[in-house]
Amino acid sequence: MNKELIMALKQLEREKKIEPAAILETLEIALAAVYRKNYDEDSDIQVKINPETGEPKVYEIVEDDDGEKVAVEKQTNANDFGRIAAQTAKQVILQRIREAEREMMFAEYEGREGDIVTGIVQQSDQRYTLVNLGRVEALLPITEQVPSERYDHGMRLKAYIVEVRRTTKDPQIIVSRSHPGLLRRLFELEVPEIYDGFVEIKSVAREPGYRSKLAVSSSEEGVDPVGACVGPKGSRVRMVVSELRGEKIDVVQYNEDPETYVSNALSPAKVKEVQIDEDENTAVVIVPDSQLSLAIGKEGQNARLAAKLSGWRIDIKSETKVAEELLSGVAKKAKKVEKEEAAGRCEAIKTDKSRCTRKAKPGSSYCGLAAHQKQGEDG
C-alpha cells in the first residue's frame, strides 16, 4: 500500500487541491479505530503514517513508572494489517475526494447571490424544477417561477441566484425566474454602457410574465440611457424580452425631480400635470381623457408598476374629473359663503319677493324698517 498511497496523495494534491496531510490525519484516525475493533478493543491506540514512505505504525499509549503517558510501538501482522489498512485508505481517500468536490462546488457558488447562471431543465413537477448547471443542480421552486412559463425537459434558460446553502451533500442553489434582479442582470449583459458605468439602472418594477418597468440614468453627457438600453432598432431590449418569453418592458428615464420622474414612470401614457405631496408621499397625476385608460393600464397594471418604480403612491385623474371636482368645490364654497352671509340677515320678504339684505336688529330676526318689523309681528 505504501508506495501507491503516497503516489495517490500527490496526484490528489495536483488534481483536486487536497492537502496530503489532511488525508493522512483522517486515515490515521480511521486505522486506529479499525485496529481497536479487530485486535485490541481496550487499548488506547494511535496510528502514525510516515508522510515520505506511507508506512503505518501502531502505538499503544501507556503510562510509565512516573505516570506519564508514552507511546509504545506494537508489532502487527504485516499481511493482515496491511490488507485492512489498504481497504481503509481506499475508503478514506474516496470520502475525502467527495468532500473536497462538494467544498469546491460550494466555493464556486458561495457569494454569487445576485448573479445569473445558465442551465438546462432536468426535471419539472408541481413543487419545483431542477436545472442542471453543469457540476451541480439548482432548484427552481414554484414560488420563484413565472406562472405563464413552461419548463420542459432539455430547455435552456437563464436564472437568478437567490441563495446558496451548504448541505451534507452537494451545495443547494436556489434560483429564480421571477426576481426583479433577473431583469436588471439581463440588461447588464446586453447593454455595454451599463457594464462600463455610463448608464445606471436606478429602479426596477416587475410583474413576472406580463410587464416590467426599468428606470435608467446616464452619468456621461451625450449618452441617451433609454436609447442605449433599447438598442439599434430595439435589438437589445428585444433580446431581454425573448429571454423573458415575451414579457413587455418599458424603459424610462430617471429624473431627480419627482414630478418628471412620476410622469416618465407612467409611460407610454402622456401626462398633463403631476402634483406632489411630499408629506403624504402621494402624487396626483392629471391626464387627458383619452390617456386615462392607458395611464391606468389593464387591471391597474401600468399605475401599479409606476408606483413601484417611483416609490410614490399615485392617484390618476382625467381632466374632466378634475374639472368636475373644481366646479363642485366652487359650488360648495359659494353655498358656504351664502350660508354665512345669510346668517344674521333680515328675514323679511320684500314686495319683489326677494329677501331683505339688511342686517337684523339685535335680538330680532328683522331689520329696523317698520314694515319689516310688522311682518315679524304678523307672523
Query: Per residue of the chain (379 residues), what is the pLDDT tens digit?
Result: 567 777 877 887 777 677 777 778 878 888 888 777 777 667 788 888 888 887 878 888 888 777 788 887 777 665 666 677 777 777 777 777 777 777 777 777 888 899 999 999 998 888 889 999 888 889 999 999 999 999 999 999 999 999 998 877 778 899 999 999 999 999 999 999 998 999 999 999 999 999 999 999 998 888 999 999 999 999 999 999 999 999 999 999 999 999 999 999 999 999 999 999 998 999 999 999 999 999 999 999 999 999 999 999 999 999 998 888 777 767 677 677 666 556 677 878 887 778 787 888 887 888 888 888 887 777 6
Whether residue 74 is contained in a domain is answered as: yes
The predicted model scores a pTM of 0.67
- What is the CATH number for 8? 3.30.1480.10
Distance CA 151, CA 13 (A): 40
Whether residue 250 is contained in a domain is answered as: no
Q: Return phi, psi of residue 59, to 5°.
A: -125, 145
Q: Which three cell numbers stand for residue 219?
A: 452619468
Whether residues 128 and 76 share a domain: the answer is no
Distance CA 379, CA 377 (A): 5
Domain that holds residue 162: 116-176
Distance CA 230, CA 241 (A): 11
Whether residues 334 and 282 share a domain: the answer is yes
Whether residues 102 and 130 share a domain: the answer is no
Q: Return phi, psi of residue 279, to 5°.
A: -65, -40
Distance CA 271, CA 285 (A): 7
Is residue 270 within 8 A of residue 287, CB to CB? The reply is yes
Whether residues 153 and 79 share a domain: the answer is no
Distance CA 165, CA 150 (A): 26
Whether residue 170 is contained in a domain is answered as: yes
Whether residue 188 is contained in a domain is answered as: no
- 171 DSSP 8-state letter: P
Dihedral over Cα of 6, 11, 13, 16: its sign: negative
Last residue within a domain, chosen from 92, 109, 126: 109
Contacts 24+ apart (CB under 8 A), 124-132: 124/151, 124/152, 124/153, 131/157, 131/159, 131/175
